[in-house]
Amino acid sequence: MKKLFVITLILFSPAVFLACSKSNTTTGGGPGGGAITFSCTGISPKFSTDVQPILTTVCSINTTCHATGTSNSGGPFTTHAEVFAKRSNIRAAILAGVMPQSGTITQPQINAFICWIDSGAPNN
Ligand code: HEM
């Protein structure tokens, strides 16, 4: 009986290991390829100087993306009002790594956008 148990263990341990290792794989492509994280240490990002430049250079680059005139579910992100209205979707989309859909967003840009939203997304 014990022999059978040992044989079974030897036979199935690789499968168990593979199954376990799969569940640890992170999802969402962060700048480093791993899970997306952010830090607000030492920064107090403002809409005008920190977020608006990200909208212009990363998100609202054309009407397929979030420029004025886009018809996608995200909508245009060119004014404070448009971004404020979608701030929780934006936070979720960035941290899930689904946006930007093309191009890249750097770690300092992720920190600025998320920390600005978490500070109440003021029009500053
Ligand atoms: C950091 C920059 C960006 C942010 C914050 C952002 C945010 C979002 C959000 C919040 C949505 C709506 C998701 C929902 O339905 O809840 C969305 C959808 C969408 N975005 Fe973006 N986006 C960014 C960049 C881009 C870029 C560069 C493109 C084009 C290449 C793009 C194309 C789209 C499209 C086509 C959709 C519609 C849904 C889809 O097809 O997945 N976005 N985005």
Q: How far is CA 84 from CA 26, 47, 74, 100, 122, in A?
A: 29, 10, 12, 17, 8
Residues 21-35 pLDDT 10s:
544 444 445 555 567
17-26, 40-49, 102-111, range with the lowest pLDDT? 17-26
Q: How far is the centre of ligand 1, averaged over its atoms, from the C-alpha of 63 (Å)?
A: 11
Task: List the one residue out of 121, 88, 109, 124 whose CA is nearest residue 31.
Answer: 109
Tokens of 46: 């403002």
Q: Ligand 1 pocket: which of 58, 62, 73 to mutate (most atoms <8 Å of CB)?
A: 73
More confident residue, 1 or 85: 85
Q: How far is the centre of ligand 1, averaged over its atoms, from the C-alpha of 76 (Å)?
A: 9
- Regarding the beta carbon of 64 and ligand 1, being less than 6 Å apart is answered yes
Q: Which atom of ligand 1 is nearest to the CA of 103?
A: 27
- Regarding the beta carbon of 44 and ligand 1, being less than 6 Å apart is answered no
Asked whether the beta carbons of 62 and 100 are under 8 A apart, the reply is: no
Angle at 31 between CA 28 and CA 35, to 5 degrees: 35
Q: What are phi and psi of 67, to 5 degrees?
A: -75, 165
pTM of the predicted model, to two decimals? 0.80
At residue 33, the pLDDT reads 58
Asked whether the beta carbons of 101 and 65 are under 8 A apart, the reply is: yes
At residue 97, the pLDDT reads 93
4-13, 42-51, 81-90, 97-106, range with the lowest pLDDT? 4-13
DSSP 8-state assignment for residue 42 = T
